[in-house]
């Protein structure tokens, strides 16, 4: 809902009644809201898929679901070209370049079609059996710990019963039902929130769990520094492959850029995702991520070293392989980049929180890269920045070693075994 709300408000930006600076502020505010919605949808989409997947096919299902990001990127470019083609006569022949204001609104508006198409299903989706089982396991464990703790001794039970009886004598039944129920519900919700946070901290205070969270956070950060550093600054790439649209009218400029984006998406994004779908259950996520980081580093090194001397065809080939190994590699590991590791590494009860934290580190990397890329490019040059991205990929491969292989791994079963061992160690 938040994504749809923010998209509609972005699409309806009142450019006619706002100054350029006010438009930027308006768009910035609702882009932030849109980002919050997308950031929340990532872990939710991952949890919905993971919790309902057979363990043997979990990786394939997640890869399949999130490979649609590649199709979304491709369709975005295709829709842009179609809309621009419809506006060619108005913008290119009649010279009404201000009509571009309608182009971007239509392109954004088209994205609402699949959003509205799936809204009802998302709002009415019941909790998964896996999540319900996880809650029952948590309650059973709490009951077992309470039964063995001193607080459940006979003396404390007598005190509780005495306190309850005294409340019953001093308060009327009507007032108890009317006044206490809402406050009890609120207190229960607050206590559940505090309890979840406590359990989360306790769970990740152990190194065997903490190293996995550190691995997902750092790898995601390093990946997004590189991935968004390149993809948010595709003007550099488009310039190298001669699709920056420097020549011709404003309409030709936009059409050329859209065509370049289709080339990049078709050569790298879509094939990489779909190779991941076919190989994830064979190779395993961990080794796909390691080889993806290392091979992306290889092609980054080639581009950095030969940036000014590569032919157009050579540059396109190297960049296509770079995008391919981003998406058949680290980007897949964190979309199954953004989702499989948290979803297959962490138990259901901590899954969304751990994924959200990992995603936050990833988007922090994206912000750092977006802010620093142009500044660093002006100071040290694009090849030097590509060498920095090379270092990020090598470091990412190293931090991946902190993560276990998730193929065939059920984190809920691992947690259940750990909890069983912990109960056996309790006195009595």
Average pLDDT (255-276) is: 82
What gap in Å lies between CA 319 and CA 321, rounded to an integer?
Answer: 5
Q: Look at residue 153 in the predicted model and tell me its pLDDT.
A: 42
- Residue 186, pLDDT score: 59
Residue pair 211/402 in contact (Cβ under 8 Å)? The answer is yes
Q: Which two structure tokens, joined as six digits, stand for 362?
A: 């990833």
Assess whether pLDDT exceeds 60 at residue 157: no
DSSP of 309-371? TS-HHHHHHHHHHHHHHHHTTHHHHTT---SHHHHHHS-HHHHHHHHHHHHHHHHHHHHHHHH
Whether residue 31 contacts residue 323, with contact meaning beta carbons closer than 8 Å, is answered with no
If you average pLDDT over residues 49-75, what whole number do you get?
A: 74
Q: Is domain 2-118+205-416 annotated with CATH 1.20.1250.20?
A: yes
Percentage of the chain exceeding pLDDT 70: 72
Q: What is the pLDDT of residue 304?
A: 92
| CA pair distance 425, 92, nearest whole angstrom | 77
- Give pLDDT, residue 158: 39
What's the alpha-carbon Rg for the chain, to the nearest Å?
26
Span 278-302, pLDDT tens digits:
887 787 778 888 988 999 999 999 9
| Nearest Cα residue to 160 out of 148, 149, 151, 169 | 151
* pLDDT, greater one: 322 or 47: 322
pLDDT in tens, 243-257: 776 777 888 888 888
Three-state DSSP class for residue 27 = helix
Question: What is the distance in angstroms between the CA of the first residue and the CA of the last residue of the chain?
Answer: 51
The whole-angstrom separation of Cα 145 and Cα 55 is 30
Average pLDDT, whole number, for the chain? 77
- Asked whether residue 173 carries a pLDDT value surpassing 50, the answer given is no
Q: What is the pLDDT of residue 385?
A: 92
| Spatial separation of the C-alpha atoms in residues 295 and 26, rounded to whole Å | 41
Lowest mean pLDDT among 68-77, 89-98, 110-119, 337-346: 337-346
Mean pLDDT for the stretch of residues 75-100: 88
For residue 295 the two structure tokens come to: 């091979």
Q: What DSSP assignment string belongs to 129-167?
A: HHHHHHHHHHHHHHHHHHHHSGGGSHHHHHHHHHHHHHH
- Specify the DSSP element, H or E, that contains 30: helix 20-51
Which range has highest mean pLDDT (81-85, 195-199, 281-285)? 81-85
- Of the ranges 32-46, 89-103, 124-138, 260-274, the best mean pLDDT one: 89-103
Q: Mind listing the pLDDT tens digit for each residue in 378-409?
A: 899 889 999 999 999 999 999 988 888 766 66
Res. 81 pLDDT band, cuts 50 70 90: very high
- Give the C-alpha separation, 28 to 31, whole Å: 5
pLDDT of residue 340: 44
Contact 62, 41 (CB under 8 A): no
Helix 312-327 / helix 285-305 crossing angle, nearest 10 deg = 160
Query: Is the per-residue pLDDT at 82 higher than 90?
Result: yes
Q: How far apart are CA 377 and CA 385, in angstroms?
A: 6
Q: Domain locations in the chain? A: 2-118+205-416
């Amino acid at each position: 809902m938040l994504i749809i709300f923010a998209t509609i408000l972005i699409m309806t930006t009142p450019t006619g009644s706002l100054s350029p600076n006010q438009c930027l502020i308006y768009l910035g505010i609702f882009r932030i809201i849109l980002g919050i919605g997308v950031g929340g949808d990532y872990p939710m989409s991952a949890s919905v898929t993971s919790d309902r997947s057979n363990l043997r096919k979990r990786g394939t299902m997640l890869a399949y679901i999130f490979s649609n990001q590649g199709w979304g990127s491709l369709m975005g470019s295709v829709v842009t070209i179609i809309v621009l083609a419809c506006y060619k006569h108005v913008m290119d022949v009649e010279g009404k370049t201000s009509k571009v204001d309608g182009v971007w609104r239509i392109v954004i508006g088209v994205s609402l079609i699949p959003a509205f198409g799936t809204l009802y299903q998302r709002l009415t989706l019941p909790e998964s059996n896996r999540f319900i089982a996880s809650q029952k396991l948590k309650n059973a464990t709490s009951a077992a710990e309470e039964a063995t703790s001193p607080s459940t001794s006979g003396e404390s039970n007598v005190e509780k019963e005495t306190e309850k009886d005294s409340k019953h004598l001093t308060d009327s039944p009507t007032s108890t039902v009317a006044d206490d129920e809402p406050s009890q519900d609120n207190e229960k919700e607050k206590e559940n929130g505090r309890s979840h946070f406590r359990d989360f901290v306790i769970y990740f205070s152990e190194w065997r769990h903490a190293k996995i969270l550190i691995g997902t956070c750092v790898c995601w950060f390093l990946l997004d520094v590189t991935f968004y550093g390149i993809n948010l600054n595709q003007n550099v790439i488009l310039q190298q492959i001669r699709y920056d649209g420097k020549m011709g009218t404003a309409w030709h400029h936009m059409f050329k850029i859209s065509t370049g984006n289709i080339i990049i998406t078709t050569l790298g994004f879509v094939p990489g995702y779909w190779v991941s779908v076919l190989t994830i259950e064979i190779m395993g996520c961990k080794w796909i991520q390691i080889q993806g980081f290392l091979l992306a580093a290889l092609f980054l090194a080639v581009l950095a070293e030969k940036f000014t001397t590569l032919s157009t065809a050579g540059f396109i080939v190297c960049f296509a392989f770079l995008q391919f190994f981003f998406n058949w590699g680290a980007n897949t590991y964190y979309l199954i980049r953004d989702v499989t590791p948290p979803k297959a590494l962490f138990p259901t009860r901590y899954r969304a929180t751990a994924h959200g934290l990992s995603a936050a580190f990833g988007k922090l990397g994206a912000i750092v890269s977006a802010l620093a890329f142009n500044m660093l490019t002006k100071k040290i040059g694009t090849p030097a920045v590509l060498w920095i991205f090379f270092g990020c990929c090598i470091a990412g491969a190293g931090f991946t070693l902190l993560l276990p292989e998730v193929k065939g791994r059920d984190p809920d079963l691992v947690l259940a075994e750990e909890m069983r061992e912990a109960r056996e160690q309790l006195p009595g």
